Amino acid sequence: MKKRTLLTILLALLCSMALMAQAAGEETTAKESITLYCYDTFSSEWGSGPTLIPLFEEETGIHVNVVSTGDAVEMLSRAIMEGDDCEADLIMGISDDQAGKAYESGLFTSYESPMLEYIDDSLEFDPEHRLIPFDYGVFAFVWDSESDVPAPTSLEDLKDPVYKDKIILIDPRTSSVGLGLLLWTIDVYGEDGYLDWWRAVGENALTIADGWSSAYGLFTEGEAPIVISYTTSPVYHVLWEDSTRYQALIFDEGHHQTIESIGILASSDNKEAAQAFVDFILSEGQAETAIANSMYPVNSGTELPDAYDWAPKPDTTFSMDPEYVAANIDRWTDEWTQAMIGR
């Protein structure tokens, strides 16, 4: 009888300890876990996420739940649609061209990261630091030097019939790179002329892809010798393939610059952990992220490999005020849709 009583007491104690441990574990998980919305480039097997996330988790004990949301435009659209119910603590990959839309959403809270002192003021496009830059780049067409088509030297050249079915464009409605090209053509041709360029070059396009990954994949598979990307895209091929076959082209008219940012959501219950991740990306994560994204780091103390010598820098770069873009982007994309879809 005594044995049964003792056994019952032991079982009760074990159950109680298990429940207490479970409760403590759930509390710890809630405090030490963040959800990150990011674009495919960061989370993919060739991106910096698979390397940086484990390093951050090991150093901080904070678990990162990574949610890949497609392209940057799709990512922000999803977060806005979810609103206050968005499960993310922070969102990584919003470009300055999308900033006005992000501000209007009211989703983001300010964060004065100590790493800001290492970032050039010209890259800090949000004075309230709701969106904090982590890398930047310049849009450019990339050319396969082993193809039998000549390298274009300007946006105008791309209208030439010699490039029929030789160009891969990207949809500005679903891709930040496609949006960058749209703004680039507005920079150069103005609102009165940019659609004429798209109509003409659209006739030469093999396809208009929905995102950068699919577009660049078609390009490297040899489907077409010219694709819209970045001046830094050749860095990847030099580093990992020891090849200078793919070359970024500098055009006479100048190029549109883009800055990518990370922001913490006001609805987050884990702001300190999210801030730690932001600081990590702006310090230890800079070189890895820049190289994987084929972009430039914003932290001025970041050392880059010699492969960046193959990333040419244009003499002229353009950028647009985020509020001006926000005020006009819906109209521009509607006009683009009417001009390009269903032709």
CB 289 within 8 A of CB 134: yes
Q: What is the pLDDT of residue 342?
A: 63
Is residue 142 situated within a structural domain?
yes
Is residue 4 situated within a structural domain?
no
CB 168 within 8 A of CB 223: yes
Q: What is the pLDDT of residue 285?
A: 94
Residues 62 and 201 in one domain: no
CATH number at residue 199: 3.40.190.10
Indicate the burial class of 131 (C-beta count within 10 angstroms; 0-12, 13-18, 19 or more).
buried
Residues 191 and 336 in one domain: yes
How far is 174 from 262, CA to CA, in rounded Å?
Answer: 19
Instruction: Select from 294, 252, 253, 247 the least CA-distant residue to 151.
Output: 247
Q: What is the pLDDT of residue 72?
A: 77
Strands (E), 104-190: 108-109, 132-144, 167-170
CB 231 within 8 A of CB 311: yes
Q: Give the number of other CB atoms < 10 A from CB of residue 160.
A: 15
DSSP 202-247: HHHEEEEESSHHHHHHHHHTTS-SEEEEETTTHHHHHHHH----EE
Is residue 84 situated within a structural domain?
yes
Residues 212 and 154 in one domain: yes
Is residue 23 situated within a structural domain?
no
Is residue 16 situated within a structural domain?
no
Residues 334 and 200 in one domain: yes
Instruction: Select from 314, 174, 180, 182 the least CA-distant residue to 259.
Output: 180
89 token code pair: 């603590």
How far is 91 from 284, CA to CA, in rounded Å?
Answer: 18
Residues 292 and 196 in one domain: no
Residues 143 and 245 in one domain: yes
Instruction: Select from 12, 46, 54, 341 the least CA-distant residue to 213.
Output: 46
Is residue 287 situated within a structural domain?
yes
Q: What is the pLDDT of residue 60?
A: 96
Q: What is the pLDDT of residue 50?
A: 86
Would you write out the chain's pLDDT as a tens digit for each of its 343 residues?
Answer: 443 444 444 444 444 444 444 544 444 344 589 999 998 778 877 778 888 999 999 999 999 999 988 777 888 999 999 998 999 999 999 999 889 989 999 999 999 999 999 999 999 999 999 999 999 999 999 999 999 999 999 999 999 999 999 999 999 998 889 999 999 999 999 999 999 999 999 999 999 999 888 999 999 999 999 999 999 999 999 999 999 999 999 998 999 999 999 999 999 999 999 999 999 999 999 999 998 888 999 999 999 999 999 999 999 999 998 889 989 999 999 999 999 986 5
Q: What is the pLDDT of residue 21?
A: 46
Q: What is the C-alpha radius of gyration for the chain, rounded to an integer number of angstroms?
A: 24
Is residue 26 situated within a structural domain?
no
Residues 331 and 201 in one domain: yes
Is residue 18 situated within a structural domain?
no
Residues 167 and 208 in one domain: yes
Residues 143 and 131 in one domain: no
Q: In this structure, what are the phi and psi dihedrals at residue 317, rounded to the nearest 5 degrees?
A: -130, 150
Q: Which residue has the tokens 């300890």?
A: 17
Residues 110 and 223 in one domain: no
Q: What is the bridge-based pairing of β-strands 255-265 and 132-144?
A: antiparallel
Please state whether the predicted TM-score (pTM) of the whole model is above 0.95. no
Instruction: Give the number of domains in the chain.
Output: 2
User: On the CB side of 250, how many CA atoms lie within 13 Å of its CA?
Assistant: 9
Whole-Å CA distances, 183 to 60, 124, 145, 158: 40, 20, 27, 17
- The boundaries of the domain holding residue 129 are 33-136+258-309
Residues 183 and 143 in one domain: yes
Residues 124 and 221 in one domain: no
